[in-house]
Structure 1
Amino acid sequence: MAAASTAENFLTAHWSEFRVGSERDAIIACQHALLLSEQFTLDGQEAGVLPAGWNSSQELYTMNYRRDGRKYVVKGLAMDDQLLVNVLSSVDNKVYTCSVDTKEHVNPDCLQSYPGVFKQFSRLCSLLQQEIIDKLKEPQSRASTMTSGAHVPPTRAHVTPNPDPLMVGGPRIPHHRGDPLREPNPFSVGEGDRLPFGLGGSGGMLMDPFRQGGMPRLPQGVPPGARFDPFTPFHPPAPRGPQSPGSRQYGPDHDHLPPPGYDDMFM
């Protein structure tokens, strides 16, 4: 891994300047070297040197880095033998975390000389690289791709809008009587008004939804085929003779009338 090799060369040259005093300091120094190898820079510092007092607190480490104008806040939180490394990215406002076991990766008896500090340096670099650094670079590379060049939206085929989202297939236009574009004879438009009783083959303008196969019995004075509402709530005189089971009665029956005492609130 090229980043690990670059970080190792950097630590070899500057280890004595870091003044590492604990296993936690060694993990933060390794993280710092890896960030520098990936073109991250430490705020306010030149040549990648850690600022004075960076390890004054052995419980919480805080450092600010930048890359391509983006800000990254690195924090190290001590938890017994674990060091929890958190990085807040300003690219996507997410926090990336990695837990490192100090006893597993650092030799506490060789803190002053770099070649023997880390037990498995490549393994520690791989852990920090996968859990933090690679994840920091992914959203930044996506943001650079989106901002580079003009964005040309893909062409879309023309789709006729469907006014009814529940309709399957194209819209179905029913046949309307009176449409001069659909009538065989355009001069027949309005025949329903001119001939309300449907004379001459016209449909007429009087409607009776119950007329099926015959004319219903209507009171005197009502035009044939008209829809009729009774004049009074009482039944008209029933015709003489037996009634067929399917005969139609006019007016409301007794079920339409309110029950006795419906307006008495105490019943």
Structure 2
Amino acid sequence: MDNKEFGWELLYHSVEPFVNRKEDVLVTFVHFVLIKNWLRCYGYDGEACQENQDGTELLPLNWHTKENLNLKYKLKEQNFVLQISKSQGKMIVNFLNPDKVEASNVVFEIEGSVSDIKGPLKNLIPKYTEVWAKVENGLLKELLPESEGKKKTEPNKTSSDEKQPPEWTPTNPRAPALRDRDREEYFDPFGVGRSDLDPLGGLGGGMLFQPPRRGRITPGLGVPGGLPRGAVPPGARFDPFGPPDLDRPGRGTGRGGLGRLSNPDHDHMAPPGYDDMFM
């Protein structure tokens, strides 16, 4: 179901027992478009709304018995009047703003707009999208500052959403690698070698596959004592000399006999014949 149709079935179900003519269907649909644009009905114009002081989405009682309808609507603090009259097979719809003394109007061919009085919306008004557009553009657009429905249904865009880099997808394999600021990780396994094409070297990696790593690069891994401070410029692409230090089980004095050993562990494998006293 289209988002525009949402709520139509409930509204039409509430008035279906009173719908006897094709113009009744058209009146209900015009009212429905106004409701979808966040207006609320306050009964007949010139009469106090006894049913609901906060407005309602329903048509007032006995609306189907009126030859000429004058309905009162509100949007926030603005008052509007919907006037509907019929003449020579046509329905004339006027929309007024009495506070600003402004008005707009549209005219519908009843027989050309409505095909039936029972059934789903596409059977009642086959070209309901055209009727909808005519009501919005001919009536509401002239008097409402903006289409309130569109304004409230669109998701709010935040600055963080606008700054998000494009994600890698099968249809967009050249999207930049996503980077975790806290752990300095690269999550694009297909980006190996892309940094060599970057003259600024901002992505890291190089031609060597660089697996995800925790923390920052420690220059001089595998070099006794490491490299002096400042030997590797900040942001430079640097391939470590040796493997990173890892926490592995060992013969330390920690709980459970586990300790932190520097990598490589020279005792991780005994040499052949180490227990031969004659060697």
TM-score normalised to the size of structure 2?
0.45
Structure with the bigger percentage of helix = 1
Rg bigger for which structure? 1
